[in-house]
Chain A
Amino acid sequence: MTNKKQIRRAALLLACLGAAFAGLGYRLVDLQILCHDELRERAEQNTQREIWRTPRRGDILDVTGNILATSVPVKTICADPSLIGNLQPVVAHALAPLLQMNESDLTIRLTPRIGRNDKGETVTNGLHYVRLAKNIPEDTWLKIAATMSDLTFGIDEKKLSRDNRAFLRNLREHAVFSEPDQMRVYPNGALASQVIGFPGKEETPVGDHVLAQIVGRDGIELSLQKQLSGVAGWKLTEVDRRQRELVAQRDEDVHARNGLDVVLTIDAAVQHIVETALAEALQKHTPKSITGIVMRPSTGEILALASLPNYDPNQPNTITPETRDRVITDVMEPGSTFKIVVVSGALNNGVVKLTDQFDCEHGHFAFAGRVLHDAEPHGILNVEEIITKSSNIGAAKIGIQLGAQNLYDYAWNYGFGQRTGIPLPGEARGFLYPVKDWSKVSIAQIPMGHGVAVTRLQMLYAMGAIANGGWLMRPMIVNRLQEHDGSVVQRYAPERIRQVISPKADAEIIEALKTVPTKQGTAPDAALKNYVVAGKTGTAEKVEHGAYVHGKYVASFIGFFPADNPQLCISVVMDEPKEGYYGGQVCGPVFRDIAERCASYLNIPPDANLATNSPALAVESRQHKF
């Protein structure tokens, strides 16, 4: 009897145990097989972290290594309002001074706003977090983190329940956090701002993350965006319960490839000289804008390129359409500076010689139903004097003698009507109409710089070709690309485009251009004490709504020195100057100021024939004893 009862009990126990094991077994199958994918995903969400590594944007340097643009690591401060509960005022009171924010505004931002996302999940503030402040320095973030961890709420936490203590601990540790970011900084402020450009921010969604990246909006920042930006890296790792990384569990660890440094041909010191001189002229003549460019004619390297008004890329609110880079984006009728094209072309073709004489009709020349004028009446002038006095009628007659097709060809060969290829965005082509579209008077107007539209850069490079033995060079503004340690990745070499005129014709036009910065010429104020200057003035009436506007001028002077061994070619252009409007009158002194200071900085040897009044003769005479 007992045995049967015992057997029954044992069977019952066995059945219970069997059922329990069966249930357990089912649960195991459920967890390990049926719900495997879902649970695995949840486990990975809890432990696995994919951390993106933003590449450091490359620096922009000048040719001597001065930093013109750099990236500084900063923090974006974020908060998870769902972890703050109803303690926003306390947190806001602690953080507002550090974030330099209004306390009440911060309180509102820390208040959770409940909503649902696309998947129907309840989320706080759309992204689970709010951004409180951007571009916060690392030191400030450390202070914020310390403030949060020392936060007290005026209560004895030992008396609180375990859950409440965990809530407060979580608030201190995780409610406010930072994301790594970088900020573009321009240590020299507005210096060369139009060349460098300015940055913007772009956020690219990568998986569940948003990868914030600096992108260029103008200048070199835009045109060399790919080289500057680098490639992002990532880290696939696991974290423990307290969100500390378990380094041994790292699956993938790919470092970001930082962007390359761009070394410009710009020399910050020369740029500063140019901008200072332009700023002084801007104050004196109050033009709408003033531009200055300094280039080496033998290589096409641009040492300085400035356009005022300009902007400070550190302060985006200073960027307006008025602060654009007018050197490459704006076109204008060049005026008399264009005479170098027709005269050099005619000399090259052998159509004229420097000594050939032309009747300048005492300032009035009727041609094709129009009357051309000179600024001052001239009688008989030879070709050199036409350049010296800048006679429109003389230039028109040389143009007529050269012929329309030849004139067009020379203008095209000097680079007008086409982009120079400078690696800056927004370069204009200008206008150079084909001969078939010319009117009857075009052959007389174009030689004096009317009926064509050029950029300031095109005009400078045409003059640069004359300074360079007739060879037109490609503008160079980027010297090389390099790694941050200085190892060169790519070096850019000077590029000859074409020989426009022969060396003989080139020497002749230079002789003519030497007479411009003299007392007999149109730019006596452009002459330098220790160097022979060759250059050309230009004064063009502005065109508005298809008609010339009397009283509004674009004044310019483009010159190079030393004339017989040109080291620098400089262009100064003013748009609507006051207190004078002739190119030689308003731009000549600015040219001289820039040239003298650049010559001193670059240590350009003075012309021997002008250096006879040297005060250092006693010292120099000793050199013969060596």
Chain B
Amino acid sequence: MAKNRKNQAAAIRFGPALKASFLCLLIGGSGIGFVWEKGQNYQLGQQIHQREVRLNRLQADNKQLDDQIAFLRSPVMLDRRVKELQLGLAPMTPLQVVRLVEPIAPPPTSNPPRQLVQRTGSRRTP
């Protein structure tokens, strides 16, 4: 009996130790995971915020460039530039415009054109 007890006390109980370790790891891991996830959330939030700021900035820049194009294309601006640069441009007169009359297509005939008939027939004798 005593021998058995001695033997038992000296024996390493792997089962409970493993269970305890696993439990500790689980709790510790959960804690670390929770903190990591919170950290990730925060970091991703900051990235989203930075991207939103960047997007707004880009949209504002885009708008500014659009406005610049609009200003440069405006008739008032173009007229002013033409006068400043003394390009000698003047409005065209109606008689300087060549107007081409669309040729009137011939009305469709009921019989197929002769050329088509010949081609159809030529398939028989290569």
B92 within 8 A of A: yes
* A interface residues (Cβ-Cβ under 8 A, vs B): 66-67, 70, 72-73, 138, 185, 187-189, 191, 244-248, 268-269, 271-272, 276, 529-531, 596-597, 599-601, 603-606, 611, 613-616, 619-620, 623, 626
Closest to A596 in B: B91
Q: What residues of chain A lie closer than 8 Å to B75, measured between beta carbons? A: 66, 188, 191, 268-269, 271-272
**Do A191 and B76 form a contact, CB below 8 Å, given A138-B60, A248-B41?**
yes
Q: What residues of chain B lie closer than 8 Å to A531, measured between beta carbons? A: 94
Q: Is the interface of B mostly helix, strand, loop or mixed?
A: helix
Q: Is the CB of B93 within 8 A of A70?
A: no
How far, in whole Å, are A450 and B44 apart by their CA atoms in the complex? 77
B2 within 8 A of A: no
How far, in whole Å, are A502 and B50 apart by their CA atoms in the complex? 69
Closest to B38 in A: A248
Q: What residues of chain B lie closer than 8 Å to A67, measured between beta carbons? A: 66-67, 70-71, 74
Q: Is the CB of B64 within 8 A of A72?
A: yes
**Do A623 and B100 form a contact, CB below 8 Å, given A604-B94, A615-B95?**
yes
B34 within 8 A of A: no
Q: Is the CB of A247 within 8 A of B94?
A: no
Q: Is the CB of A187 within 8 A of B67?
A: yes
B11 within 8 A of A: no
Q: What residues of chain A lie closer than 8 Å to B98, measured between beta carbons? A: 616, 619-620, 623
* In the complex, the 4 A-B pairs of residues with the closest C-beta atoms, listed nearest first: A247-B45, A67-B70, A606-B94, A600-B91
Q: Is the CB of B93 within 8 A of A600?
A: yes
Q: Is the CB of A272 within 8 A of B79?
A: yes
Number of A-B contacts (CB under 8 A): 96
B101 within 8 A of A: yes
B75, chain A: closest CB distance, angstroms: 4
Q: Is the CB of B79 within 8 A of A614?
A: no
Picked from A72, A244, A268, the residue with its CB within 8 Å of the CB of B74 is A268
- 24 A-B residue pairs with Cβ-Cβ distance under 8 Å, sorted by A, are A66-B73, A66-B75, A67-B66, A67-B67, A67-B70, A72-B63, A73-B63, A138-B57, A187-B71, A247-B46, A247-B48, A248-B41, A272-B79, A530-B94, A531-B94, A596-B91, A597-B91, A600-B91, A600-B92, A600-B93, A605-B94, A606-B94, A616-B96, A616-B98
How far, in whole Å, are A620 and B99 apart by their CA atoms in the complex? 7
Closest to B99 in A: A605
Q: Is the CB of B91 within 8 A of A70?
A: no
B81 within 8 A of A: no
Closest to A528 in B: B94
Known: A187-B70, A247-B44, A613-B95. 12 other contacts (CB 8 A): A67-B66, A189-B76, A191-B76, A247-B45, A248-B42, A268-B75, A600-B93, A603-B97, A611-B94, A615-B96, A623-B100, A626-B100
How far, in whole Å, are A247 and B98 apart by their CA atoms in the complex? 64
Picked from B60, B71, B95, B101, the residue with its CB within 8 Å of the CB of A626 is B101
Q: Is the CB of A70 within 8 A of B67?
A: yes
Q: What residues of chain B lie closer than 8 Å to A596, measured between beta carbons? A: 91
How far, in whole Å, are A444 and B92 apart by their CA atoms in the complex? 46
B30, chain A: closest CB distance, angstroms: 19
Q: Is the CB of A72 within 8 A of B93?
A: no
Q: What residues of chain B lie closer than 8 Å to A248, measured between beta carbons? A: 41-42, 44-45
B54 within 8 A of A: no
Q: What residues of chain B lie closer than 8 Å to A605, measured between beta carbons? A: 94, 99
A526, chain B: closest CB distance, angstroms: 17
**Residue of B45, B48, B64, B92 with highest tally of chain A CB at under 10 A:** B45
How far, in whole Å, are A82 and B65 apart by their CA atoms in the complex? 39
